[in-house]
Chain A
Amino acid sequence: MPTIHYIEPDGREVTLEVAPGQSLMRGAMDAGLEGLEAQCGGNCACATCHCYVRSEWLDKLRPPSDDEQVMLGNVAAERRPNSRLSCQLIVEDSLDGLTVQFPDRQS
């Protein structure tokens, strides 16, 4: 199973195995990570699962949809070029080793 590295807002790194087909958000919620809220449960409706993708992984991800782009324009923490919504990032084998960091606030 692909390994995903999550960095919590306090800098702690949590490494999880997440099944292909699951979202990064789902994996993080199942493990009880603290850096996300995911209020809408993965509907791209709330922008509370915002994460920063380690830059070397950026071009390996599918680009954000128009809806995700709009949501990213309105995240609570600073939007950066590597900002993504973790509910829209679906794990696949090619993403083994992906590292994302959660911002200090989601709402």
Chain B
Amino acid sequence: MDSQEPIIIVGAGQAGIQVAESLRQEGFGGALILCGEEPHPPYQRPPLSKKWLIDAGAVGALTLRGPAAIERLKISMRLDTRVRAIDRIACAVELADGTRLPYGKLAIATGSLPRTLPVPGASLPGVLALRGIADSLAIGAAIRRCAAEGQSVVVVGGGFIGLEVAASARKLGAAVTVLEGLPRLMSRVTAPVVSEAFARLHRGHGVQLVFGAQVSEIVGYEGRVAAVRTAQGQEYRCGCVVIGIGVAPDDLLARSAGLLCERGIVVDECSRTSDPLIAAAGDCTARRLGDGELVRLESVQNAIEQGKSAAAALIGRARPFTNTPWFWSDQYDIKLQMVGLSRGYDQVVTRGDLAKPAFSAFYFRAGRLLAVDSLNRISDHMQSKRLLDHGISPTPAQAADPQFELPSLLQGPRETAADEA
């Protein structure tokens, strides 16, 4: 099954480079072409809203795999290259300049795009969103300018990206207002107890948080953004606006090619799409679980694990991604680590010190552990990750008792389960 026809990977981010690397590890010896729209070789995106935004570091510090690795893996890199169509009949991709490249198999790893705000003024200069290196540089420059000129930064959206940018902007010395449409921060993914801890944290660092704020208009002055207006009748003057209201899967190419898409390119647990010659990985996908439910994850782990699955799928092997999902976020001196999916929880218990904060929130459904969010409690995070990976649940009372040793639950039947992965 080791076809030596070329494999093309569309998208040179975390998932794309993982597909390439895993294909070589799986023994694929044919031509491997990696197409990326940006001029940069594959790089890490998480620091773009965090440390890298603050330091405006060198691009090289973000690199996922250096030139030596690209060469050793015999990857033919086509940077600055946009794929404009997939011709599934002829098995070829068409580049923006009209070039057609034939493929034996194809991987799509096009990532996601920031959601845009459908209000007047949203395209004014100074209204920014974060996706790539260029965006991070532009946001960093705009924040520094605001700090120097005593203007405010308005962040629209109190989710991960918005809050990380807010924290970075405070570190750079700018005044920051976060406008969140819902009644609390990160409300789609965390329990109120976690939202409240982050609200205290940001307010403690001088961020103005506004909840229930529906942005109605972005106002310009002399061709640049000057203020944000809300439907509640407030106006927030500012020197720049960062929109952080989530991302949408970049599945346009796949949809145009007739692949099954629903909130992303639909893949199974082995990253296979509706076309047996095409796999997909990362933010652009929606994974159909055994029970029919669609799960969309936007994370490094998902990109890596689906990348491994996609590579295996392309050479006819099944390598399902079944690890427990995990995420992290850094804001100020708080490391937030999340493991599992809390959706559908009916009970939350906390462990640790809420005031500090150094605690974890354990999410349960019908007494069974679903997920754990840890703030500066990396031990809880790592231990919970192992419990979830092994399908072991503490009781809510055990989780809430700081004296109870979570790893003690792993002893006994563990050996059998541990080596399956």
A43 in contact with B328 (CB, 8 Å): yes
Q: How far is the CA of A45 from the CA of B339 in the complex (A)?
A: 12
Pick the contact of B378: A30, A31, A37, A45 (CB < 8 A): A45
B402 is an interface residue with CB less than 8 A from chain A: no
Q: Answer whether A29 and B382 are a contact pair too, CB < 8 Å, given A39-B301, A45-B337.
A: no
Q: How far is the CA of A70 from the CA of B328 in the complex (A)?
A: 16
Measured CB to CB, the nearest residue on chain A to B337 is A45
For B421, list chain A residues within 8 Å (CB).
105, 107
For A44, list chain B residues within 8 Å (CB).
378
* Chain A binder among B67-75, B125-133, B137-145, B353-361: B67-75
What is the interface size of chain B, counting residues whose CB is below 8 A from a CB of the partner? 30
Q: Answer whether A73 and B382 are a contact pair too, CB < 8 Å, given A29-B69, A32-B21.
A: yes
B105 is an interface residue with CB less than 8 A from chain A: no
Pick the contact of B68: A31, A39, A43, A105 (CB < 8 A): A31
B382 in contact with A32 (CB, 8 Å): no
Convert A28-58 into 0s and 1s, putting 1 for each residue whose CB lies closer than 8 angstroms to a CB of B: 0111101001011101111100000000000
A59 is an interface residue with CB less than 8 A from chain B: no
B68 in contact with A30 (CB, 8 Å): yes
Q: How far is the CA of A15 from the CA of B237 in the complex (A)?
A: 56
For A40, list chain B residues within 8 Å (CB).
46, 300, 328
A82 is an interface residue with CB less than 8 A from chain B: no
Q: Interface centre among A32, A34, A37, by most B CB within 10 Å?
A: A32
For B398, list chain A residues within 8 Å (CB).
none
Q: How far is the CA of A74 from the CA of B335 in the complex (A)?
A: 17
Q: How far is the CA of A29 from the CA of B72 in the complex (A)?
A: 12
B328 in contact with A45 (CB, 8 Å): yes
Q: How far is the CA of A31 from the CA of B421 in the complex (A)?
A: 26
Instruction: Report the number of A-B residue pairs with Cβ-Cβ less than 8 Å.
Output: 63
B304 in contact with A37 (CB, 8 Å): yes
What is the interface size of chain A, counting residues whose CB is below 8 A from a CB of the partner? 21
Q: How far is the CA of A43 from the CA of B328 in the complex (A)?
A: 10
B66 in contact with A70 (CB, 8 Å): no
For A47, list chain B residues within 8 Å (CB).
382
Pick the contact of A71: B25, B69, B72, B382 (CB < 8 A): B382
B63 is an interface residue with CB less than 8 A from chain A: yes
Pick the contact of B70: A32, A73, A105 (CB < 8 A): A32
For A67, list chain B residues within 8 Å (CB).
378
For A73, list chain B residues within 8 Å (CB).
379, 382
B337 in contact with A30 (CB, 8 Å): no
For B337, list chain A residues within 8 Å (CB).
45
B230 is an interface residue with CB less than 8 A from chain A: no
Q: How far is the CA of A105 from the CA of B73 in the complex (A)?
A: 20
B283 is an interface residue with CB less than 8 A from chain A: no
B25 in contact with A32 (CB, 8 Å): no
B104 is an interface residue with CB less than 8 A from chain A: no
Within 8 A of A (CB), among B45-66: 46-47, 63-66
Pick the contact of A30: B65, B304, B330 (CB < 8 A): B65
A32 in contact with B300 (CB, 8 Å): no
For A105, list chain B residues within 8 Å (CB).
421
Task: Sort A-B residue pairs by CB-CB distance and give the 7 closest, nearest first.
Answer: A32-B69, A30-B66, A74-B382, A70-B379, A41-B44, A45-B328, A31-B68
Residues of B within 8 A of A (CB): 21, 25, 44, 46-47, 63-66, 68-70, 72-73, 300-301, 304, 323, 326, 328, 330, 335, 337, 378-379, 382-383, 385-386, 421
Beyond the given pairs A29-B66, A30-B69, 18 more chain A to chain B contacts, judged by CB atoms under 8 angstroms and listed by A's residue number, are A29-B63, A29-B64, A31-B66, A31-B69, A32-B21, A32-B66, A32-B69, A32-B73, A34-B25, A41-B44, A46-B301, A46-B328, A71-B378, A73-B379, A74-B382, A105-B421, A107-B323, A107-B421
